[in-house]
């Protein structure tokens, strides 16, 4: 059963200072009768149905018509349309890398400093979101282009509260406490962690999330950004240290179910199942918010999660790793501008929150609108974040982020040193420059 306490971990202090927002008034937009707004988006299936409800509220308030075209190939379609000179008014990107590429060829319309300032003020860790939406234009000047809407959280540790209760284990509030808990579980004869990197051709990616989380917990956001764009080399000592911080957990036979060498071969889909055994094969599993989909049938309600904590000793705040979709203007119009302003209203977020599958860093929303306690708790983690950074491997060139980085993590599990792995990845990066 999910905990009803606000949130564990280092974010608790920040949450204690949060004030519940007053209920937002209904959105009342300008009269836009006759305006038609086009949108290209990645949401399909149930998500598209939820988007329709958000759009319907805007149409009802303004009289405008929003014609959306959502598909799994929307990214390619957006690029084709921009290069053909016939983009939609609004284009939704699933990650900022491609949006930045489109800004660089003059394919995006700046949202302006007013919107950027709004994001800084009204989103938790607002500067992070503003930076993630700021790209260089065709002339090389940085401008604000991207408004994040519908995001996700990766910095989560899953566990079974009943297993913790039986052994007297407490949810750790810092990385130091998480390490102490890991040692205690091992000393008690249990295996603290289930870790699996197997994912067919993508084997290795779960470990990249671990390393990204450690980069954010051991270095400043600026160093993380430099690592992602390779101004900080992959074999820099600071990156090697982050890999070894992951290795502290994953390369110790006493800490991982099946031993360290099993990590690279166990499927990421199967790895959390060990928590549900009797006795449990492991007590914790670090993974993003999607992982309950792979829990044993009917067992998801037995699990809970806590924030992957930061180091109490490093004073780097409460960083959160995640992802999200970015809305951009690709063809300016009065109606398109009004729709982007609509997304700043809490109601535009609360409509989707109530449907599920949606998280927002908007500080003005009513958290009670979240469909489930789990989503509410993840929303609280977002609101407690002092820094938010996008999944680094998704921002690196494909040959690195979806290539040598994945392979390097498998090699690391197989026995290579962190320095050897980092050197290999940097060589692969140099080769594509």
Tell me: the pLDDT tens digits for 7-43? Answer: 333 333 333 333 344 445 799 999 999 999 999 999 9
pTM of the model: 0.88
Q: Write out residues in the chain with pLDDT < 50, as ranges.
A: 1-23
In this structure, how many other beta carbons lie within 10 angstroms of the beta carbon of residue 392? 23
Helix, strand, or coil (residue 172): coil
Between CA 209 and CA 391 the distance in angstroms is: 7
Pairing label, strands 304-307, 65-70? unpaired
CA-CA distances (angstroms) from residue 348 to 221, 279, 289?
Answer: 29, 45, 22
In the chain, the largest separation of any two C-alpha atoms, in whole Å, equals 70
| Ordered alpha helix ranges (H), 160-271 | 161-167, 175-187, 205-218, 221-229, 237-250
What pLDDT score does 22 carry?
A: 43
Between CA 150 and CA 68 the distance in angstroms is: 17
Q: Which two structure tokens, joined as six digits, stand for 288? A: 């993003």
Cβ(161)–Cβ(3) below 8 Å: yes
Pairing label, strands 156-159, 304-307? antiparallel
Cβ(286)–Cβ(153) below 8 Å: no
What pLDDT score does 293 carry?
A: 87
CA-CA distances (angstroms) from residue 396 to 75, 141, 321, 433?
Answer: 17, 21, 15, 12
Q: What are phi and psi for residue 107, nearest 5 degrees?
A: -90, -10
What pLDDT score does 44 carry?
A: 92
Tell me the domains of the chain and their CATH numbers. Answer: 36-152+324-385 (3.40.190.10), 156-321+394-431 (3.40.190.10)
Between CA 196 and CA 186 the distance in angstroms is: 18
Tell me: the pLDDT tens digits for 378-394? Answer: 999 999 999 999 999 98
Q: Which two structure tokens, joined as six digits, stand for 233? A: 């080399």
Outline where DSSP puts E strands in 317-421.
319-329, 387-390
What pLDDT score does 3 carry?
A: 31
């Amino acid at each position: 059963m999910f905990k009803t306490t606000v949130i564990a971990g280092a974010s608790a202090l920040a949450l204690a200072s949060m004030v519940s927002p007053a209920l937002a008034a209904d959105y009342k937009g300008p009269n836009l009768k006759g305006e038609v707004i086009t949108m290209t988006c990645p949401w399909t299936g149930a998500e598209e149905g939820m988007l329709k409800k958000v759009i319907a509220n805007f149409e009802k308030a303004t009289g405008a018509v929003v014609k959306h075209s959502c598909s799994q190939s929307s990214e390619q379609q957006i690029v084709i349309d921009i290069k053909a000179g016939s983009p939609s008014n609004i284009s939704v990107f699933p990650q900022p890398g491609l949006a930045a590429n489109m800004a660089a060829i003059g394919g995006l319309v700046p949202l302006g400093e007013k919107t950027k300032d709004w994001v800084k003020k009204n989103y938790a860790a607002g500067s992070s979101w503003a930076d993630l939406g700021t790209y260089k234009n065709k002339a090389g000047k940085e401008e604000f282009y991207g408004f994040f809407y519908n995001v996700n959280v990766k910095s989560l540790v899953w566990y079974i509260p009943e297993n913790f209760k039986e052994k007297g284990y407490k949810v750790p509030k810092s990385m130091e406490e998480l390490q102490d808990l890991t040692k205690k579980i091992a000393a008690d004869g249990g295996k603290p962690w289930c870790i699996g990197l197997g994912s067919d051709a993508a084997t290795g990616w779960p470990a990249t999330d671990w390393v990204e989380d450690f980069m954010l917990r051991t270095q400043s956001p600026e160093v993380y950004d430099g690592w992602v764009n390779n101004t900080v080399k992959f074999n820099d000592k600071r990156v090697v240290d982050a890999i070894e911080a992951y290795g502290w957990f994953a390369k110790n036979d006493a800490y991982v179910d099946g031993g360290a060498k099993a990590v690279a071969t166990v499927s990421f889909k199967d790895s959390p199942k060990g928590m549900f055994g009797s006795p449990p094969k492991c007590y914790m599993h670090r993974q993003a918010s999607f992982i309950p989909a792979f829990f044993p049938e009917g067992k998801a309600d037995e699990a809970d999660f806590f924030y992957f904590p930061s180091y109490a000793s490093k004073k780097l705040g409460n960083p959160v790793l995640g992802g999200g979709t970015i809305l951009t203007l690709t063809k300016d119009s009065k109606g398109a501008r009004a729709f982007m302003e609509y997304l700043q209203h809490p109601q535009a977020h609360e409509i989707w929150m109530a449907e599920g599958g949606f998280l927002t860093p908007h500080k003005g929303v009513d958290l009670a609108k979240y469909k489930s306690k789990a989503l509410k708790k993840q929303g609280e983690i977002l609101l407690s974040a002092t820094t938010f950074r996008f999944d680094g491997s998704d921002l690196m060139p494909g040959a690195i982020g979806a290539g040598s980085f994945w392979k390097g993590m498998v090699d690391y599990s197989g026995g290579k040193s962190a320095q050897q792995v980092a050197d290999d990845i940097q060589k692969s990066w140099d080769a594509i420059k």
